[in-house]
Amino acid sequence: MERDVITAGSLALRPFTLADIPWVHEVSLDPALQHFVELPSPYRMEDAAFFVEQLAIAGGQSGQRLEFLAEEASTGERLGRVGVGLSAPGTAEIGYWVDPKARGRGVATDAVRAVCRWAFRAHGLELIEWRAEVGNLASRRVAEKAGFTVEATLRKRLLHRGIRVDAWVGSLLKNEVL
């Protein structure tokens, strides 16, 4: 499946390549990411290779998972990732994270907005859902700035390191895209 490159201001959102594996490994060692994202611990290079090869690349080829690496368009500096998992017809779930060196620059918000606009148009979606562990304020701020409506706190809805935790859930509808 041919994958689009999405532009959003100074960002380019492109499909992952094998050359991105070392960067994924480095970013995934970040304590904040480890705290809120269900990642293997310890996180090894093999885990990064599995993410890039099996989830980002193979998932994109199957059309079930659409992963984008956000980079600075002018320099190619890797900044973050946004992924959309296609589930039931017309719906998807979004996830994202940003390299600690790129936080606080609006990268996640700009990337999420661009990927959502693209996904609604390219895949005929009606709704994109966002979920995050309660307490992940950075993710919630990004979702809200990107136009998501936080709808509820779901009790014990996520599994994190074998423990059930509460989750915030929100949605963005096609007609709400910023």
Q: Please report, rounded to a whole number, the percentage of residues in the chain having pLDDT higher than 90.
A: 87
pLDDT tens, residue by residue, 47-68: 999 999 999 999 888 878 999 9
| Extended beta strands in 10-162, E state | 11-14, 65-72, 78-86, 91-98, 127-133, 149-160
Distance CA 172, CA 146 (A): 9
Count Cβ atoms within 10 A of the Cβ of residue 18 and give its class: 0-12 exposed, 13-18 middle, 19 or more buried: exposed
Is 3's pLDDT higher than 80?
A: no
Superfamily designation of domain 6-129: Gcn5-related N-acetyltransferase (GNAT) (3.40.630.30)
Residue 177 scores a pLDDT above 90:
no
Q: How far is CA 154 from the centre of its chain?
A: 20
Whether 178 shows a pLDDT value over 80: the answer reads no
Give the tens place of pLDDT for each residue, 148-158.
999 999 999 99
Average pLDDT score over the chain? 94
Over the stretch 115-147, which tens digit does the pLDDT of each residue have? 999 999 999 999 999 999 999 999 999 999 999
pTM summary value: 0.94
Q: Is the pLDDT of residue 1 over 50?
A: no
Length of the chain: 178
